[in-house]
Amino acid sequence: MTTYSESAMTDKSGSAIWLTGLPASGKSTLATGVAGVLEERGVPVQILDSDELRQVLTPEPTYSQPEREWFYRVMVFIGALLVQNGVNVIFAATANRRRYRARAEQVIERFAEVYVRCSLETCMERDGKGIYAKVKAGQVHNVPGLQAPYEPPANPAVVVDTDHQTVTEGVEQIMAWLDERFLPEGLAREEERNE
């Protein structure tokens, strides 16, 4: 039986992208859109959404730094196992520190970051999950972009600007990149270039 390790996976049957951005920037919406396109094509895909995972792993989250370190390590562990077994993973999580996302790059051979760029003002206006409302009410105290730092990707593979792009445009942009680099036809072209 193959086990997860802290070295890069060599199985090329799956890949992963990490959609990162401020809370309410549109990560989950884009992830759902991309997953829908892949499912229509019959491509195995799994969204790992931090909000959903927290309901299981940390039902009463503190969002402390040690908890975040642990949570993202577990999230990467789950994602790496899925990729190793042929599933394409879409991480949808702010993961406010670059090092959280860097762990995925270290253990998943075909991995890329997608920066869901959106102004703080727009995120606060949307606030679909009530995160910023809780800040105003004094219920939470460490939201990335406000009370905690947010470190955007240094070299994202794709940048989707949800201040100005529609969901459809963002999904098409991500899919164009995936088709070129990670999906079967793109891999075949990559192999031809390397021969």
Question: Does a structural domain hold residue 9?
Answer: no
Greater pLDDT, 13 or 12: 13
pLDDT tops 80 at residue 189: no
Q: Which of 5-9, 40-44, 74-78 has the lowest mean pLDDT?
A: 5-9
Tokens 């994602």, located at residue: 79
Question: Does a structural domain hold residue 141?
Answer: yes
List of residues 6+ apart from 133 with CB closer than 8 A: 127
Res 118: pLDDT: 97
Domain count, the chain: 1
Entry pTM: 0.87
Question: Does a structural domain hold residue 6?
Answer: no
- Per residue in 14-30, pLDDT (tens digit) is 999 999 999 999 999 99
Average pLDDT over the chain, rounded to an integer: 88
Question: Does a structural domain hold residue 47?
Answer: yes
Q: Token pair for residue 115?
A: 């920066």
Tokens 């670059």, located at residue: 98
Q: What is the mean pLDDT of residues 5-18?
A: 64
CATH number for the domain spanning 84: value is 3.40.50.300
Question: Does a structural domain hold residue 24?
Answer: yes
Res 12: pLDDT: 52
Question: Does a structural domain hold residue 7?
Answer: no
Dihedrals φ, ψ of 33, to 5°? -65, -45
Question: Does a structural domain hold residue 142?
Answer: yes
- Per residue in 144-168, pLDDT (tens digit) is 988 899 999 999 999 999 999 999 9
Q: Using alpha carbons, select from 97, 90, 176, 99 the residue that is nearest to residue 142.
A: 97
The whole domain housing 60 covers 16-194
- Per residue in 30-75, pLDDT (tens digit) is 999 999 999 999 999 999 999 999 999 999 888 888 999 999 999 9
pLDDT tops 80 at residue 184: no
Res 179: pLDDT: 93
Question: Does a structural domain hold residue 10?
Answer: no
Res 7: pLDDT: 41
